[in-house]
Structure formats: C-alpha cells, structure tokens
Amino acid sequence: MDLDTVKERAGPREFSPKDDMPEEYRKAATRMIQFHANSEIMGAYLERPFIREAPSLERKLAYSAKVQDELGHGQLLYRAAESLGIKSRDQMLDELANGEGKFLNCFHYPMDSWVEVPMIAFFVDGAAMRRQATLRRSSWEPYAHAMDKVCFEEGFHIKHGESILAELASGSKKEQEMVQDAFETWWPRIIQFFGPTDDKSTHHDFAAEVGLKQMTNDGLRQAFLNSYVPKAKEYGLEIPDTPTIEHDEETDTYEIAEDELDWDEFFTVSKNEYEGGKHQIDARKRAQDTVAWVRESLDESEGATGSHAPQAAD
C-alpha cells in the first residue's frame, strides 16, 4: 500500500497488521504509540511512592490499583506498537531506561506531597482522557482497541482523583492553602500537557493525514480548558494569573495566552534534558537492572524447552 492510498483510506480502525503498510506510516505510528506507552510507565513511577503516603487504607488500595492499571496500560500499548513491526517491546523498554525514549512533560517533574496527587490523578488524567478518547478512532486498529480498555480504566482514575481533591478542598485551611500552592505549581505544566502549539508541532500534520490523530494540540487544550477551568473553580481553586486566561461569555469558552508559557523549558523537558526527568529515568533504569535476572532466567528456560514468545518483525 502506498502513502497516497493510506491517506485516501484513513479512517477509524482502518488498518491492522494484515495490511502491508508503508514504512512512513509504521514509523510514525510506532513513535506515537511508544511515546504513549512510555508515558504510562513513567506516570506510574511518579505516583508509586504515594501509595504509602495515602492517608487511609481505602486510599492506599485505590491508589495501588491505579498504579497497577497504568503499568498495564504501558504493556498493552507496547504490544500495539510492536504489532507495527518496527521495534520490539524489549527495544522500547531499553530505550526508556537508557534515556532515549520520550514521555509526557508532566511525568518529568517530581512530586513531594500527597496534596499534589490530585494534580496528576484528576487534572493530568483528565487532560489525558481528552486526548485518549479521540484515539479510540485512530486508524491503527490495535492502538484503537487498546484505547477502549485504557479509557474505561482512566475514567475511574479521574473520579478517584476528584474524590481526593474534594476531600482536601473541604479540609482545614492549611490543607486548602497547600492544594492551592500545588495547583499554582502544576497548572502551567498541565496546560503544556498537550504538546507545543500547532504552529510548532512537527508531527501533527502527517499523523492527521493518515488518521493516527483526530484533533490538534490546540484543539485538545481548548477543550480541556473549557471543561476544567470551571471544575477547578468549583473546588475553590484560584486560576493563576500566568498564563492569562480570558473567558468569552458569549461562547462560554476560555482563551489562553499560550506565548506566556515557558516553552523553552518545555522543549528542554521533551528532549529528556531536564534534571528532574533524568532522575525519573535513572530510577526506571535501576528498576529494570534489578530484575534483569528474571528476564535472563526466562530466556534460559525458553532456550532449554525450545519454546519462544512471539516476536515483532524486524
């Protein structure tokens, strides 16, 4: 199948491993899905320490389940990427551990307090759902199928995050102040979650032409703001002055001054050059090295029995 045919046929769940896809499509889809899978894994690593910080047994159980879900999403997405035949799951995990794999900006920053948990579990996951819901119509069928399960579970994550936010927002004055401080720190990062502005996005046009993406970065950011600015205010949070956000009463939409965001920092983060992100990557590498003996034992066992797990095409 040539690229022109792909663009003509591109539609929801149109292509699958049975189709002979051009290399440009397979590479673009692999890059996109690998980035998504990496982000699920690194999000879980960011949140995992707070299982023990949860203030009740019920919160610990729920947060533990959330972290397990995120790791499961990563593995599911690696398999969807692997089905394109460009990279194996092991290659992608090695690239992540070695600092070559890219992941979402929010997961480069450290979390230090339980009051920051809803910044990820409600706002970031809410932003993710905006993007992920559109990916259920992606043209690569294994990716779209994976998103059915991911979106179902992310819905629970968002409700859990909102429950934590509601509890903190109705708590003591000190708790309310701490949540506001956390919100002011995380708000610009959350706005940048959707990636660079459309005029600076290098991958969107092709991904849209072949049906991998359904909405632009700016379109997703706008939809998120329209939904989540009112939600933030509902829980007593004050929207920071920077970046400037103006409300158009006639259309009931929110406009943001995107040029006031620190895009230099964003691109430093996206290149894995941010110091906090390096710490996250190093932690992932240590974890992978720690369990290397398990992978080696499984490989030896497969070699002895002559059985082999399915491998992606080279």
Q: What is the pLDDT of residue 170?
A: 96
The conformation of residue 101, written as its DSSP 8-state character, comes to: S
pLDDT in tens, 155-212: 999 999 999 999 999 999 999 999 999 999 999 999 999 999 998 888 889 999 999 9
User: Rounded distance, CA 285 to CA 290, Å?
Assistant: 8
pLDDT value of position 313: 44
Is 226 part of any domain?
yes
Please report which helix (H) or strand (E) contains residue 256, including its range: strand 253-256
Whole-number pLDDT of residue 140: 98
| Cβ atoms within 10 Å of 141's Cβ, excluding its own | 18
Q: How far apart are the first and last CA of the chain?
A: 19
pLDDT of residue 299: 81
Contact 81, 34 (CB under 8 A): yes
Inside any domain, residue 260: yes
Query: What one-character DSSP code corresponds to residue 232?
Result: H
How large is the average pLDDT for residues 300-312? 64
Binning pLDDT at 50, 70 and 90, where does residue 307 land? Answer: low
pLDDT the model gives residue 122: 98
Cα–Cα distance measured from residue 133 to residue 131, given in angstroms and rounded to the nearest whole number:
6
Residue with tokens 């491998």: 311
Asked whether residue 140 is domain-assigned, the answer is: yes
In a domain, 313, yes or no: no
**Range of the structural domain that residue 79 is part of:** 3-305
Q: Residues 243, 249, 253, CA angle at the centre, nearest 5°?
A: 50
Q: Are 224 and 187 in contact (CB under 8 A)?
A: no
**pTM for the predicted model, two decimal places:** 0.91
- The runs of H, that is alpha helices, within 83-140 are 89-97, 117-118, 125-135
Reply yes or no on whether the pLDDT at 94 is more than 70.
Answer: yes
For the stretch 6-35, pLDDT in tens is 999 999 999 999 999 999 999 999 999 999
Q: Is the pLDDT of residue 72 over 60?
A: yes
Question: Which tops the pLDDT comparison, 15 or 314?
Answer: 15
Q: Measuring CA to CA, which residue among 108, 242, 237 is closest to residue 178?
A: 237
Task: Identify whether 311 is part of a domain.
Answer: no
- State how many domains the chain has: 1
Mean pLDDT score of the chain, rounded to an integer? 93
Whether 311 shows a pLDDT value over 70: the answer reads no
Residue 1 CA to residue 24 CA, distance in Å, equals 11
The pLDDT tens digits of the residues spanning 262-277 come to 999 999 998 999 887 8
* Residue 314 in domain: no
Secondary structure class of 18 (helix, strand, coil)? coil
Distance of CA 157 to the CA centre of its chain: 13
Residue 176 belongs to a domain = yes
Place 314 in a pLDDT band, splitting at 50, 70 and 90.
Answer: very low
Q: Is residue 167 part of a domain?
A: yes
What pLDDT is recorded for position 312? 47
Rounded Cα–Cα distance for residues 79 and 75 (Å): 6
Nearest in space to 240 (alpha carbons), one of 251, 227, 256: 256
We report the CATH number of the domain holding residue 180 as 1.20.1260.10
For residues 216-245, give the mean pLDDT.
Answer: 96
Sign of the Cα pseudo-torsion (237, 240, 245, 246, in order):
positive
Structure tokens at 151: 């979106």
> Per-residue confidence at 230, pLDDT binned at 50, 70, 90?
very high
